[in-house]
Amino acid sequence: MEPINEKKSCCGSDQDGLSLSKTASEGQKPLALYLAGSSILLVAWWFLYTNLLPMAEFITEVFARIAGFALQGHLGRAISFFIYETPKVLMLLTLVVFGVGIVRSFFTPERTRAILAGKRESVGNVLAALLGTVTPFCSCSAVPLFLGFVTTGVPLGVTFSFLIAAPMVNEIAVVLLYGLFGWKVAAIYTGTGLAIAMIAGWTIGRLKMEKYLEDWVFQIQAGSLGSEEEPLKWVDRIRQGGEAVRDIVGKVWPYVMLGIAVGAGIHGYVPEGFMASFMGKSAWWSVPLSVLIGIPMYSNAAGIIPIVQALLGKGAALGTVLAFMMSVIALSLPEMIILRKVLKPQLIAVFIGVVGTGILLVGYIFNFLF
């Protein structure tokens, strides 16, 4: 299980920036054209999506006849799974990333900070976790963002709620979980991920850890941006949605295909319950073990899904797998190294401890419920 270092090496991707100079809107096509174009694409999307199953079945049948395999055999079931699931998940991903790209154009880090500054702690934790899911964020901006928050009056615990939710609950994770495991798993993941971010952030706030920030943090006179942010036009927002699709879908599609290929293999070949003895409900130690293995690992949602699918498909328990996935995405060694520049080791230890405990509880609760 090689940790995959891919999205996190990014830094301010094309779609989430704001230009303070005016040039971006020069020579633009009118909004009506963008709206018309988007509507046509949406209708085409809907038509394709609703007819995907019969089309995939048809293609699989033709394929089976040419290549000469039985549709109900191992290979046949694996291939028909792949031919249907790949376009389905990629189409869903494209639509959701487009939508989220437009939503994100409303939430720059600067605006999120303005919303969070001066909020009471409990309300702040809830808001921060929710905003974390829609504010553009990448881990190499984690330190500037952290400083920007803390030095302008966002409480430490609220800042942590944001930092936990931002990588963990995102559109890629939710769409992939929905596409491959159904809406229940996606909803559980989103709900518990947000809950962990809110409660862990609140706990860190209660523990009064401010003295464990590096001393130089307090010496910073964080400047504020000299110029006012220009309100974006709708044309720009739609364009940002399109850019998000190009940027994100363009980057994660190989992982998605790999994930579905792994899933297809499991679907066709692996006997049910293969993993049940190691990662099943009866093995109580599997939840803490999964979290411990997951913490130093470093991957984004798209990279971890193939592994999740393999584990679930072979009979691992849902709670154990969710705990593993969350600890891989939310806590990672490289992130700790980056945060070490602003946090003293004690605070990093508390951060890992509190979030890890939350993930552990989620694992046990879901193994108990399902």
Partner 1 sequence: MDIKVLGPGCKKCEQTAKIVQETLSEAGVDAKVEKITDLMQIAGYGVMSTPSVVVDGKVTVVGKVPSKKDVLSWVKK
Q: Binding residues for partner 1, how many (CB under 8 A)?
A: 43
Site string for partner 1, 326-355 (x = CB under 8 A): ---------------xx-------------
For residue 235, what are the contacts with CB-CB under 8 A and spacing of at least 6? 25, 28, 29, 30, 31, 34
CB of 18 vs partner 1, minimal distance in Å? 6
Q: How far is the CB of 242 from partner 1 (least distance, A)?
A: 15
Residues contacting 345, CB < 8 A, separation 6+: none
Residue 12 in contact with partner 1, rule: CB under 8 A: yes
Q: How far is the CB of 34 from partner 1 (least distance, A)?
A: 19
Q: Is 218 in the site for partner 1 (CB under 8 A)?
A: no
At position 97, the amino acid (one-letter code) is V
Shortest distance (Å) from residue 166 CB to partner 1? 12
* CB-based contact 62:35 (threshold 8 Å): no
Q: Which phi and psi (to 5°) does residue 343 adopt? A: -115, 140
Asked if 68 interacts with partner 1 (CB under 8 A), we say no
Q: How far is the CB of 5 from partner 1 (least distance, A)?
A: 12
Q: Which is nearer to partner 1, 112 or 192 (CB)?
A: 112
| b/e map 255-282, b = 16+ CB within 10 Å | bbbebbbbbbbbbbeeeeeebeeebbbe
Residues 245 and 295: their CA atoms lie apart, in Å, by: 29
Residue 69 to residue 98: CA distance in whole angstroms: 38
Tokens of 320: 């154990």
Q: Report the phi/psi class of residue 74: left, alpha or beta, with left for phi > 0 and alpha for psi in -120 to 50.
A: alpha
First to last CA, the chain: 27
Q: In terms of CB distance, is 151 or 357 closer to partner 1?
A: 151
Structure tokens at 254: 């190989």
**What six digits make up the tokens of 7?**
């999205």
Site residues (CB under 8 A) for partner 1, limited to 115-154: 136-138, 140-141, 143-145, 147-149, 151
Per-residue contact string for residues 294-333; x = within reach of partner 1 by CB under 8 A: ----------------------------------------
Specify the residue, 19 or 39, whose C-beta has the smaller distance to partner 1. 19
Task: Show the tokens assigned to 91.
Answer: 């189409």
What is the token pair recorded at 96?
């959701």
Q: With respect to partner 1, which residue has the nearer C-beta, 142 or 209? A: 142
Stretch that binds partner 1, among 161-169, 221-229, 260-268, 351-359 (CB under 8 A): 221-229
Would you call 299 helix, strand, or coil by DSSP?
coil
Minimum distance of partner 1 from residue 17's CB (angstroms): 2
73 binds partner 1 (CB under 8 A): no
Nearer to partner 1, 224 or 282 (CB): 224
Among 106, 216, 234, 269, the residue binding partner 1 under the rule CB under 8 A is 216
Q: Could you say whether residue 221 binds partner 1 (CB under 8 A)?
A: yes
Distance between CA atoms of residues 77 and 93, nearest Å: 24
- Segment interacting with partner 1 (CB under 8 A) among 10-18, 52-60, 63-71, 84-92: 10-18
271 near partner 1, rule: CB under 8 A: no
State which of positions 25-44 bind partner 1 (CB under 8 A). 26
Q: Name residue 72's amino acid.
A: Q
Nearest CB to partner 1, comparing residues 203 and 300: 300
Residue 250 binding partner 1, by CB under 8 A: no
Query: Please, are residues 163 and 147 in contact by the beta-carbon 8 Å criterion?
Result: no
**Alpha carbon separation from 224 to 81, 228, 232, 237 (Å, rounded):** 52, 10, 20, 24
Instruction: Say what angle helices 156-168 and 121-134 make with each other, to 10 degrees.
Output: 30
For partner 1, give the closer residue by CB, 16 or 335. 16
Q: Which residues bind partner 1 (CB under 8 A)?
A: 9-14, 16-24, 26, 108-110, 113, 136-138, 140-141, 143-145, 147-149, 151, 216, 220-227, 341-342
